[in-house]
Structure 1
């Protein structure tokens, strides 16, 4: 796919939005998509689907793009949705309301394209719109990136001359400062995990703020830009030479929002790398996603990762949720004369083979065409779905993706790739690492102490090596257990899967990737896990190589070498 000129990106953007044209409600205030439910009402689900395409439409309009149907329907929809007398009124909000999330792209529209979403409205319509948005100042929000939604709303209300809350604006900005960790990294509020929310939320919104508030808050805006530059030098490691980004953490159904940080740097006037390097990262990521099975039959985006998959979804993932990926189309707001449009795609810059990110509690092994992240299982409350799998595995790879459990019973249902799995004698339940009791990310290794079940503690040391990584497990337990040291999940989608087993080794490979485990200490035996379908994020059917040993009460030392290869 050609992605060079602004017109190329505009065409792709409109092509992705075309399936929504027939989905608008009668008055245009909602988009009705079939599919998954979420932890909020059907009305709010339709508001979400209406609002999220604005992350791309607003830059499209700002950069000179025109599409009369979308222009008309969005003005019509906003007029209906904010009118209390209209049957499609979006409703009055309550504390922690999902509608606050969807206010953000509308506020973005008022800031960047008031000529589209504000100026054409009549006085009564403007009053309804601004009053509906102002509700965000009257309620409590979760202490996380949601505070940026209120920041954007107050900036927008101020920009169009409507009542806003200066005190809320300042307090929210102060809280965002409390979330800053250093070296460009943020934590998403009261959570502990460091993931894509530092990129496509905290950094993205802070750079929007730096653009729209630069004149009146110059010092803070400059600080936000400097942090983005620092963050760039770490975040570039999350992308491999094929364009894939590390599958890690929550909200992965936003797909190429993984790359949205890079357009935000260009939009704010900063760049840690030349436009050709940035263009290469963005384009390869977009192309990778467009090669995956991410659309349903009517052409709309699915809930899932590389294919439709409700198993991996969070409770806030509705059919319109994936359109958060439209953030990457912030590119379309760049002026026609911006160097990005003339730049040729370039490869990734020279990167260290092993890169430590202290603020993210992560070691990154960059092998050009494949990236592996090693993490110590640090995350907040698991209330949203599959946090153990999304943050608790030993390693996350762009070549393999990770698997989520269908249940905690049986190895096939648990699909414990990149985990040390315990099955106590006489039980079928599978126990793995959830959170670390303590951990260190130092030099070229990660050490974590954890407990899979009562009476068992493990100290695991992960050391990246040339061909993969070495695991050293020191187990102390009071129970007899069968223990499985599991490698990456290998796809069954291609012809030619081969399995090799021998004393203390197992290798599973197909024509495009493979994983080999060798027992170096502990005399483990090979075992092949036939993972349940639809557990892996990228591959519908997988096999997981493992080494197995029955351990007795007392102390046990296991050492396993995990080798990965691809492109065979």
Structure 2
């Protein structure tokens, strides 16, 4: 069984279990008596969390048994939409968070063997997802929410094309493309939802399919207009003090612009937009936003519980993991500092075993099972966006992110009486 000792700050601290008994395959990954340096211990914790999120979903869906064996929990204020959307939410969001890790090369290590197994299950699950004859054929029509989670799925395919797209059969590829194009009938509201439509089109562009440049141009231009300064975007015409910059806006803008500027048979061209310049600007703004995210992690790993969708848990730190994975962390955020801060938050949030139910599925909550925190759209499938906090697992264990010594993060320094970097508004 995996050793889930909690070490606040990554290198030292008290012990606490993060959950109930681990999944069967976990025993071979991190023997509890194995001495680990801080980075290896952090990776082992993250790998355990990744497996605990992924295995209950992928093991069942790969066999066409997810719907049969799981009825997702819903919020007490559930708005009555078709619960079928929850399975696409769970699958698409989970896959997006673990895609960079699935794309790492195979090897004979315990982690490598786990990755090969979960990747095979993910590919089989993709077959079921678009096969109308499968019991796990996903809900692709009838709910606007489908546009949202189709975009997490196409984002996963963009993050790991060689691992998750190329190996698919021609039939599955054709079916996926057809489902994405059919979603053009959904008219997204003028909010972060514009990026979901743009993500699907960016994916279609990347594989050489017909794509709709206007959906992408509109989305990019609106967020240029909605930028409120100092690294933050409004969600629509108003500013919302919540974490949708983390859940959707910052990472999807970076990924869409990256895909258009670098992928496909040739760089995309959008009327009046210099994609290379916009991509660079978006990265710089994401870096500034990440400085804010890091500063909001307290000395004990706690961070502010603000705004909508709090039950998405550590998905709030997706931009930090994304920039680490892309090698784009700013000089102000050394890798050892980011890892220490975000791992402290992971350990703090997942300390309570009720974050997972008896069957291993994520529950609705923030730092434990707290269904009353759910919004009208919240179901247990929605919670799998928390896997987005695992993007740095896409870096190999030998990467500096995992081997650098942990450093005290900003609030740890500040409240420990140490020197720390002052903070000033930026004008880009």
**TM value normalised by structure 2:** 0.75
Offset at residue 335 of structure 1 (A): 4.5
The higher relative CO (CA closer than 8 Å, separation ≥ 6) is in 2
Output one character per residue of 1:320-345: Cα deviation in whole Å (capped at 9) or x when no partner: 11111100111122255532111111
Q: Is the 8 A contact 1:279 1:344 kept in 2?
A: no
**What's the offset of the Cα at 1:287?**
1.0
Change (3 A) 1:109 1:100: same
| Aligned with residue 387 of structure 2, among 323, 326, 329 | 326
Other-structure match for 1:232: 290
Residue of structure 1 aligned with 2:325, choices 264, 267, 270: 267
Q: CA separation in 2, counterparts of 1:234 and 1:44?
A: 33
Aligned to 2:342: 282
Alpha-carbon contact 1:28-1:76 (below 8 Å) kept: no
- Is contact 1:211–1:268 with CA below 8 Å preserved after alignment? no
Return the alpha-carbon distance in structure 1 between the equivalents of residues 312 and 416 of structure 2. Answer: 24
Given the superposition, is the C-alpha separation of residues 326 and 47 from structure 1 closer, same or farther in structure 2, using an over 3 Å criterion? same
Give a deviation string over 1:406-430, Cα, whole Å, max 9, x none. xxxxxxxxxxxxxxxxxxxxxxxxx
With over 3 angstroms needed to count, the CA separation of the structure-2 counterparts of 1:263 and 1:26, relative to structure 1, is: closer
1:13 is matched with which residue: 50, 62, 72?
Answer: 50
Deviates more, 1:290-299 or 1:156-165: 290-299
Indicate conservation of the 8 Å contact 1:59/1:330, yes or no. Answer: yes
2:73 to 22, 31, 35: 35
Please name the residue that 1:391 is paired with.
Answer: none
C-alpha displacement of 1:242: 0.6
Matched, 1:4 2:64: no
Q: Which runs of 5+ in 1 are unaligned?
A: 354-366, 370-568
**CA positional deviation for 1:310:** 1.9
Q: CA shift at 1:201, angstroms? A: 2.1
**Is the CA contact (8 Å cut-off) linking 2:323 and 2:329 kept in structure 1?**
yes
Q: Which residue of 1 aligns with 2:365?
A: 304
Give, in angstroms, the shift of residue 109 of structure 1. 2.6
Q: Distance in 2 between matches of 1:225 and 1:59?
A: 19
Q: How does 1:359-378 map to 2 (within 5 A)?
A: 367=415
CA, structure 1 residues 348+57, in 2 after alignment: closer, same or farther (shift >3 Å)?
A: closer
Aligned residue for 1:63, secondary structure, equals coil
Work out whether residues 303 and 317 of structure 1, in 8 Å CA contact, stay in contact via their aligned partners in 2. Answer: yes
* Residue aligning to 1:141: 188
| Number of matched pairs | 355
**After the TM superposition, which residues 136-535 of structure 1 pair with which residues of structure 2 at under 5 Å, given as runs?**
136-215=183-262, 216=267, 217-272=275-330, 273-292=333-352, 293-349=354-410, 367=415
Matched, 1:74 2:122: yes
User: For the residues of structure 2 that align with 1:299 and 1:88, how far apart are their CA atoms?
Assistant: 19
What SS does the aligned partner of 1:110 have?
Answer: helix
- Per-residue CA deviations over 1:178-200 (Å, capped at 9, x if unaligned) read 22111101111245422211233
Residue 4 of structure 1: how far off its partner (Å): 1.5
Q: Distance in 1 between matches of 2:85 and 2:384?
A: 15
Structure 2 CA distance for partners of 1:57 and 1:232, relative to 1, 3 Å: closer
- State the shift of 1:352 in Å: 10
CA drift of 1:238 comes to 1.4
Question: How far does residue 266 in structure 1 lie from its aligned partner after superposition?
Answer: 1.5
Give the distance between the partners of 1:41 and 1:350, measured in 2 at CA.
43
Checking the alignment, whether the CA contact within 8 Å between 1:237 and 1:351 is kept in structure 2 is no
Out of 148, 151, 167, the residue aligned to residue 101 of structure 1 is 148
Q: Secondary structure at the match of 1:279?
A: helix
How far apart are residue 87 of structure 1 and its match? 5.4
Report the Cα offset of residue 213 of structure 1.
3.5
Deviations 1:8-65 (A, max 9, x none): 2334311343333554385367572442254321211222222221023312212335
How far is the alpha carbon of 1:125 from its aligned partner? 2.2
Q: Is the 8 A contact 1:47 1:90 kept in 2?
A: yes
Deviations 1:132-191 (A, max 9, x none): 012233320122222222222111111112222122111111122222111101111245
Work out the CA distance in 1 between the residues paired with 2:137 and 2:239: 37
- In the alignment, is the contact (CA less than 8 A) between 2:242 and 2:306 conserved in 1? yes
Q: What is the match of residue 47 of structure 1?
A: 88
Whole-Å Cα distance in 2 between the matches of residues 351 and 67 of structure 1? 34
Q: Which protein has the bigger helix share?
A: 2
- Structure 1 residues 351 and 143 mapped into 2: Cα distance closer, same or farther (>3 Å)? farther
Could you give the per-residue CA deviations for residues 188-234 of structure 1, whole angstroms, max 9, x where no partner exists? Answer: 12454222112332112223235434434211110001112222333
Q: Which has the larger radius of gyration?
A: 1
Query: Residue in 2 aligned with 1:398?
Result: none
Structure with higher strand content = 1
CA distances 1:408-466 after superposition (whole Å, capped 9, x unpaired): xxxxxxxxxxxxxxxxxxxxxxxxxxxxxxxxxxxxxxxxxxxxxxxxxxxxxxxxxxx
Residue in structure 2 matched with residue 115 of structure 1 by the alignment: 162
Q: CA RMSD in A?
A: 2.7
Q: 2:98 aligns with which of 31, 34, 57?
A: 57
* Offset at residue 282 of structure 1 (A): 1.0
Secondary structure at the counterpart of residue 181 of structure 1: strand
Partner of 2:228: helix, strand, or coil?
A: strand
